[in-house]
Amino acid sequence: NDGREAIRQFFQNAPSRLPFAIHMVMNPIIEVDGDRATGVWYLFQPCTYAEGNQAVWGSARYDEEYVRVNGKWMFQHLTLSSHFWTPFDKGWAETQFAS
């Protein structure tokens, strides 16, 4: 699936992959230029992977582009760049990405 349907399916299926997550975004930097804008956000997320009931720490960066359409700001593009998704008991210094 593509577009909105792919997004809808992703979020409908999310609880089966991540039954617990605290999605904390912080330190926003938003720059507006007329009807366009960019945003950078950092993510820190304790969560549980359903597979193996594994506690995980996550960290990433969101790079976003927005556009104003008929007075409303909308996402135009979003990229997530992962720093680490690591087992809680091992930490990111030992294991950067959980399997």
Residue-wise pLDDT tens digits, 2-34 = 888 998 999 999 999 999 999 999 999 999 999
Residue 97 located in a structural domain: no
* Predicted confidence (pLDDT) per residue in 54-99, tens digit: 999 999 999 999 999 999 999 999 999 999 999 999 888 888 888 7
| Secondary structure element (H or E) that encloses residue 78, with its range | strand 72-87
Query: Can you give the pLDDT at residue 99?
Result: 72
Residue 99 located in a structural domain: no
> In this structure, what CATH number is given to the domain that contains residue 74?
3.10.450.50
Name the one residue in this structure whose structure tokens are 């087992």.
87
Q: What is the pTM of this model?
A: 0.85
- Structural domain count of the chain: 1
Which residue range(s) make up the domain with 62?
3-87
DSSP 51: G
What tokens were used for 74? Answer: 């909308």
DSSP 53: G
84 to 27, 72, 81: CA distances (angstroms): 18, 34, 9
Whether the CB-CB separation of 42 and 63 falls below 8 Å is answered with no
